[in-house]
Amino acid sequence: MTADRLMVLDLLASVAAAAAWLGAGATAAARRPRAAAALFVAAVLASLTRIWSVVALAGAGWWFVQEKVTLALPLLLITSVAATALAGPRLVAAVRTRATAPTAAPVVVVPLLAAGYAAVAGPVHALLLGYPATWSTGLVITAVVAFAVLVTWRVIAAAPVPGLRVAVAAVTATALVGVGLAVVPPTETTTTGDAAPAGSTALMAQHRTAQDTGHGVGHDTGQGRPVDGFRGPDTPAPGGAIRRFELTARTATITLASGKRVEAWTFDGQVPGPAITAAQGDLIEVRLRNADVSYGVTLHWHGYDVPAGEDGVPGLTQDAVMPGQEFTYRFRADQAGTYWYHTHEVSDEGVRKGLYGTLVVAPRSAAAPEDVDLALPVHTFTGTVVFGDQDRPIVRQASPGTSVRLRLINTDNTPHRFTLSGVPYRLVAVDGDDLHEPGELARVGLRLPAGGRYDLAFTMPATGAVVLRADDRVVGVRLTPVDGAAGDGEDTSGWPELDLLGYGTPAPTAFTAAGPFDRRFTLVLDRGVSLAGGRPMYAHTVNGHAFPDIPTQLVADGDLIKLTVVNRGLETHPWHLHGHRVLVLSRDGRAPTGTPLWLDTFDVRPGEVWEVAFRAANPGLWMNHCHNLSHADMGMMLHLAYEGVTTPFHGAHSG
């Protein structure tokens, strides 16, 4: 069974165990031995299922079972063994003799309810607190369970309970110690992962101090190099041109092809914003103005490894551009391929409402460009999937033999599944990077993570329509070799999903899974109640913390970094590191067998463990976050900082 299924099974078993133990206790108290005995059997079975599911889940990694093994299961085991020993024989006897009174005795009811309270701690911790269990949460939860047992005992017992006062005092003291531990800052850090390098403790301590100010990174104290000093050059590479663009952010009502009207936030009154194109080696210069987007705007170049001062993160690399203000971005188009830009200020709302556009850089190679080249940002406006600026199929005529490139860009918060029918094709690039010897594809689904890009290439066939669909139902593009050829091709919903880890063929890479790595970081993604930044919320957490309380990852220029990302939750997290592309080392322990995969956004699905690596070669301060921007907004983001880089800006809060 896969880890995500085991997680769900374990959750269901833990809820069932809690309900059955509590039900057994309640029916025993109500003098209904048959019902109590049946629920008792169900409770034992559900508890055994939990033990099995936790053992099986442990095979996926310690992260998935940490709080279960250290807290939830011991509580459940101790109480359910006691309940079985004390209540079990008496329930059996009561069913046999049909005597109802004995089942209401404290020696039957209290152990059954105690097992119920202990069993409740399992789903409560898993759902409300998440990873990891700490001494603090462990002591508080144990004390709460014990207190509930004592109160139950006192209520049910006809005679005084011996030692009750001492027990209540001990339980209260335990709870207070637990609360105290939560207030005292932890001494260990979870972010450095399994092999923190020598000297990192001092660095992390220094960082924790910076964090106490409410930010994850060092502020400008006159020492170090401010991040806004890392700016792009003002000349193109030899032979390149200067490509100048002006974008003005403004609110506007957009009318889609179907007549549907959208209250949008736009660049230049259009959605998507103006296409930015260049050839490799050109200098791109974009002057951003803000007319009336009251929250402010910035431009972040998604997947483009610009100098840090051009990265467009408000409160970290620049101040947001407020109405009436402007900011000019300048960087060399060193990377060829398909990228996109979007605002990073209140980015969940800003991107959703339309503040994005495409960035396509043509390679400076001898290869001839495709005859038909479409950049297709795919976006959802209030439930309507839009390709480019069209919510109706884009219909083109292309004569047989025409070469076609479709650049798919997922600008939504969740993945899309794309299918191309009517022609064999190749997936030639992912996240802007050309794949090595990509094979011919047909009748497969391509799952594109939020923020990610796929370039599809093919030659127009002599007959029939070529149809690009999103999510098997929305026809985005229909290319026909002759006028009048119609039809939307076949039903694609049953097509299997392509696994990129086995696509293409291997090629040498600048480094490999063998390292050696200068630093390793582990990010365990989950949900939990958080007060991060003084904002109470049911946060999306990283190692039990939410932004801005997640320790910053500190690196040195030139380091080779290994990043392990674990998803303990039930939602997909498209992980996105700014300023660097990462090489996939493994997913769930399996290394890629095909092309090297250099990604800037990788979907970590429930139960998955990804290992990726990157060279720290772009000094600055960078966001490292979930690109489901609503998750980022609810805490799932942190900073990656190069040693000695500071920021003069304040209040980075936007994913």
Compute CA distances 368 → 252, 275, 279, 430, whole Å.
39, 21, 13, 20
Pick from 85, 108, 106, 83: nearest CA to 33: 108
Write down the least CB distance from residue 207 to Cu ion, Å: 24
Write down the least CB distance from residue 612 to Cu ion, Å: 16
Site track for Cu ion across 554-593, x = CB under 5 A: -------------------x--------------------
Residue identified by tokens 């992980």 is 575
Work out the number of other CB atoms within 10 angstroms of the CB of residue 607. 23
Site for Cu ion in 332-361 (CB under 5 A): none
Window contacting Cu ion (CB under 5 A); options: 104-112, 163-171, 365-373, 620-628: 620-628
* Binder of Cu ion out of 352, 631, 639, 653 (CB under 5 A): 631
What distance in Å separates the CA atoms of residue 59 and residue 607, rounded to the nearest whole number? Answer: 11
Site track for Cu ion across 179-218, x = CB under 5 A: ----------------------------------------
Write down the least CB distance from residue 622 to Cu ion, Å: 18
Write down the least CB distance from residue 303 to Cu ion, Å: 18
What distance in Å separates the CA atoms of residue 89 and residue 79, rounded to the nearest whole number? Answer: 16
Write down the least CB distance from residue 57 to Cu ion, Å: 21
Which lies closer to Cu ion via its Cβ, residue 552 or residue 628?
628
> At 513, which helix (H) or strand (E)?
none
Which lies closer to Cu ion via its Cβ, residue 120 or residue 637?
637
Number of residues that bind Cu ion (CB under 5 A): 4
Window contacting Cu ion (CB under 5 A); options: 164-172, 430-438, 595-603, 618-626: 618-626
Pick from 115, 144, 92: nearest CA to 46: 115
First to last CA, the chain: 34
Write down the least CB distance from residue 568 to Cu ion, Å: 12
The answer to the question of residue 625 lying near Cu ion (CB under 5 A) is: no
Window contacting Cu ion (CB under 5 A); options: 188-196, 217-225, 596-604, 623-631: 623-631
Which lies closer to Cu ion via its Cβ, residue 541 or residue 646?
541
Which lies closer to Cu ion via its Cβ, residue 500 or residue 542?
542
Work out the number of other CB atoms within 10 angstroms of the CB of residue 163. 10
Peptide bond into 648 cis (omega under 30): no
Which lies closer to Cu ion via its Cβ, residue 355 or residue 539?
539
Residue identified by tokens 């409560």 is 124
Window contacting Cu ion (CB under 5 A); options: 510-518, 556-564, 596-604, 628-636: 628-636
Pick from 412, 404, 408, 358: nearest CA to 380: 412
Question: What does DSSP say about strands 276-279 and 466-470: parallel, antiparallel, or unpaired?
Answer: unpaired
Site track for Cu ion across 35-74, x = CB under 5 A: ----------------------------------------
Which lies closer to Cu ion via its Cβ, residue 296 or residue 574?
574
Write down the least CB distance from residue 418 to Cu ion, Å: 21
Window contacting Cu ion (CB under 5 A); options: 99-107, 376-384, 387-395, 631-639: 631-639
Which lies closer to Cu ion via its Cβ, residue 3 or residue 637?
637
What does the radius of gyration of the chain's CA atoms come to, in whole angstroms? 29
What distance in Å separates the CA atoms of residue 526 and residue 63, rounded to the nearest whole number? Answer: 10
Write down the least CB distance from residue 478 to Cu ion, Å: 33
Work out the number of other CB atoms within 10 angstroms of the CB of residue 508. 7
Pick from 108, 111, 78, 74: nearest CA to 94: 108
Write down the least CB distance from residue 262 to Cu ion, Å: 25
What distance in Å separates the CA atoms of residue 446 and residue 472, rounded to the nearest whole number? Answer: 11
* Binder of Cu ion out of 47, 343, 541, 628 (CB under 5 A): 628
Q: Are 100 and 33 in contact (CB under 8 A)?
A: yes
β-sheet bridge partners, residue 378: 387, 410
Contacts of residue 433, defined as CB under 8 A and 6 or more positions apart, other chains included, come to 337, 581, 598, 599
Write down the least CB distance from residue 350 to Cu ion, Å: 17
Pick from 510, 529, 502, 516: nearest CA to 587: 502
Which lies closer to Cu ion via its Cβ, residue 296 or residue 544?
544
Write down the least CB distance from residue 627 to Cu ion, Å: 7
What distance in Å separates the CA atoms of residue 614 and residue 584, rounded to the nearest whole number? Answer: 9
Which lies closer to Cu ion via its Cβ, residue 520 or residue 605?
605
The answer to the question of residue 626 lying near Cu ion (CB under 5 A) is: yes
Write down the least CB distance from residue 638 to Cu ion, Å: 13
Peptide bond into 516 cis (omega under 30): yes
Which lies closer to Cu ion via its Cβ, residue 36 or residue 525?
525
Which lies closer to Cu ion via its Cβ, residue 411 or residue 647?
411
Write down the least CB distance from residue 133 to Cu ion, Å: 22
Which lies closer to Cu ion via its Cβ, residue 403 or residue 630?
630
Q: Are 340 and 359 in contact (CB under 8 A)?
A: yes
What distance in Å separates the CA atoms of residue 431 and residue 600, rounded to the nearest whole number? Answer: 6
Which lies closer to Cu ion via its Cβ, residue 211 or residue 628?
628
Following DSSP, what letter does each residue of 574-630 receive, concatenated? EEEETT--EEEEEETTB--SSS--EESEEEE-TT-EEEEEEE--S-SEEEEEESSHH
Site for Cu ion in 248-287 (CB under 5 A): none
> At 21, which helix (H) or strand (E)?
helix 3-29
Window contacting Cu ion (CB under 5 A); options: 128-136, 310-318, 427-435, 625-633: 625-633
- 3-state helix/strand/coil string of 31-66: CCHHHHHHHHHHHHHHHHHHHHHHHHHHCCCHHHCH
The answer to the question of residue 541 lying near Cu ion (CB under 5 A) is: no
Which lies closer to Cu ion via its Cβ, residue 527 or residue 562?
527
Which lies closer to Cu ion via its Cβ, residue 355 or residue 626?
626
Write down the least CB distance from residue 318 to Cu ion, Å: 25
Which lies closer to Cu ion via its Cβ, residue 581 or residue 631?
631
Write down the least CB distance from residue 593 to Cu ion, Å: 27
**Which tokens go with 527?**
């949900």
What distance in Å separates the CA atoms of residue 435 and residue 415, rounded to the nearest whole number? Answer: 21
Write down the least CB distance from residue 521 to Cu ion, Å: 17
Binding site for Cu ion (CB under 5 A): 573, 626, 628, 631
